[in-house]
Chains A and B, each alone.
Chain A
């Protein structure tokens, strides 16, 4: 069974930093693209980032480019999202997602990031 478990969310002040982690199991983590997707309270889904299986290629939404960095440790089956210069509008549930099917992803349960003073 595919399991994706996010951690690291919490309350942070504007301008602050936070690092999210996602522990993967139940599939060959090192063979698949991985994503971060977020959902602001009461709003729709917003794609954030995607990383190649070996970690050499990453892509980002324009709204986070230059502030967020996605990485992975295939030896630990773990995906990361380093978030810097956080803004109030970054407040959301952040989901880790694995692309086991082309263009389609399986989801973790999400972790809440609250950017507020």
Chain B
């Protein structure tokens, strides 16, 4: 069982927006601003799309945005495109130099 809780699936039509949640505790998500999000396509390595809750690495489209409220972080994908389909994982620093991942959310573009 993963330390961070994500919905197993999410979906949306092209052009729509979808939000994926990542629920933790005050010892991880709520206690630090080191929440990151990763996109993984089948058979590929994960790719960093958000770090420090809401920052995007260079090259990541601004359709991807992150936020946090209390012990829950969220990833929003706006203007859904077919290539956004894949698995999304959240991660958080959990103190004592340790990290945690969520169980992952499978995003389907209808």
Contact = CB atoms under 8 A, between A and B. Distances in A.
A93 to B, nearest CB: 9
Interface string B29-61: 000101110100000011110111001010000
Q: Decide if the interface of chain A is mainly helix, strand, loop or mixed.
A: strand
Interface residues of B, number: 28
A50 B104 contact: no
Given A101-B55, A102-B52, A44 B46 contact: no
Please list the 5 inter-chain residue pairs (A to B) with the smallest Cβ-Cβ separation, ordered nearest first.
Answer: A104-B51, A103-B34, A59-B97, A104-B36, A107-B45
Given A44-B89, A45-B46, A103-B92, 17 more contacts: A44-B2, A44-B104, A47-B99, A50-B97, A50-B99, A58-B97, A59-B96, A101-B52, A102-B52, A103-B34, A103-B36, A103-B91, A104-B48, A104-B51, A107-B46, A108-B45, A110-B45
A59 B98 contact: yes
Contacts of B36: 101, 103-105
